[in-house]
Amino acid sequence: MKAVQFNEYGGPEVLRVVEVDEPHAGPGQVRIAVRAAGVNGIDWKIRAGHLRQMIPLSLPAGIGMDASGVVDEVGAGVDDVAVGDAVFGAGAATYAEFAVLSAWAKKPAALGFEEAAGYPIPVETAARILRQVGVLPGETLVVSGASGGVGSAVLQLARAQGITVIATASARNHAYLRSLGAIPTTYEAGLVARVRALAPRGIDAALDLAGSGVIADLIELTGKPAKVLSIADFTAPAQGAQVSAQTTDADRRVALAAAARLFTEGALRIPVEWTYALAAAGEAQVASAAGHVRGRLVIRVAAPASEARTTTLDPGAGYVTIINTYVVAPERAEALLEMLVRATEETLRQVPGFVSANFHLNLDRTRLVNYAQWQSREAIAAAGTDPRVAARIREAGEIADSFTPVLYELRSSVRAPDA
């Protein structure tokens, strides 16, 4: 089967799509044919080696913890699901065509595989940290870095419990935070004064989800270091605050069942902002590390051919990527996407040095990102003088409102999938 692995710790360029033996379900486990895998902040931290003391690995190792898919093996002692059931859950090495889960829940029929893949770690983490920080109904909670997957879950679980939330995120995500019931503010200098103006009766507890150096501010707001908890800043205990990183499969199963129930009741949604091909796992982790995501990043592992948005050639030993970002009116987004896919298949395949192209349309259909992979910088420069390419760029410019190319400086060894 195809899976993403890394042979050494390092940047996203160490990730490779390789052929490996299929895993099998042991006692108390299930194996799934993976439809989608969630991208979590812990994934890139493991790959980079930041957690090698806490999570020791034998290399080469797979990557990923969250996934959704269809059960195709059931281990001894499992009686709540059967082969053929659609599930979502947590396991190991989920950036792969098959993965073994140790905690799962049946996927509600109305919940898509991609969105479901983004639920496991965020929902369990949100439930755990709300419980651990001890915030109660009627109290006021500050959440720093609230627009991502964990933040999205925290805001909705807190709203369901009658907790008032003041949430920080970049200005572009404030409407999203409001839609989840939070009072938004930015995270720049002056946070304490802004929050106090929004909550004159005071702050009862605070959560740091981004590790952006705000522990001291959050302690000042709550007045009690023990009422501040971080999942991203492991220096927090030195200031008297809490950290939370440990969980169990039993807790995960409870949280996943609750997530399925809350989704069915209309009380929980964690939207997917970007989807990536398996070969673009490195780019997905770059986006995760950069932050400012609205909802979740997900790797699409399997999908009907009619849904594919990737076109590839054999990439050889490596590639250089140029990231082309288009701003477009929502009503023209599909036309731009179709035009770019057609241009790739009809034109770029004929240009020397071209490897592959992946296309990602964001949640509100106003930004389309094209990861164009090339054999070398020289190939990119040569393509820039090709009149066929220039004509296609002009055609895209007639549809899009703006276009920004950025060279992805890493020379990557991630292989694109076979066409």
Residue-level length of the chain: 419
Distances (CA, A) of 347 to 344, 350, 352, 419: 6, 6, 11, 16
- Cβ contact 325:336 at 8 Å: no
Label the pairing between strands 228-230 and 242-243.
parallel
* Model pLDDT, residue 363: 60
Residue with tokens 């605050």: 241
Q: Between 264 and 368, where is the model more confident?
A: 264
What confidence tier does 304 reach under pLDDT thresholds 50, 70, 90?
Answer: very low
Does residue 348 surpass a pLDDT of 60? yes
Q: Is the pTM of this model over 0.95?
A: no
CB burial of 105-118 (b: ≥16 within 10 Å; e: otherwise) equals: bbbeeebebbbbbb
Mean pLDDT of 42-62: 89
How many of the other CB atoms lie within 10 Å of CB of 339? Answer: 17
* Model pLDDT, residue 305: 38
Does residue 414 surpass a pLDDT of 50? no
CATH class of 2-119+270-274: alpha beta
Tokens standing for 146? 């609230």
CATH class of 314-419: alpha beta
Does residue 302 surpass a pLDDT of 50? yes
Label the pairing between strands 296-300 and 272-277.
parallel
Residue among 24, 261, 228, 4 at smallest CA distance from 119: 261
Tokens standing for 278? 């398996």
CATH class of 124-243: alpha beta
Does residue 350 surpass a pLDDT of 80? yes
Domain residue ranges in the chain: 2-119+270-274, 124-243, 314-419
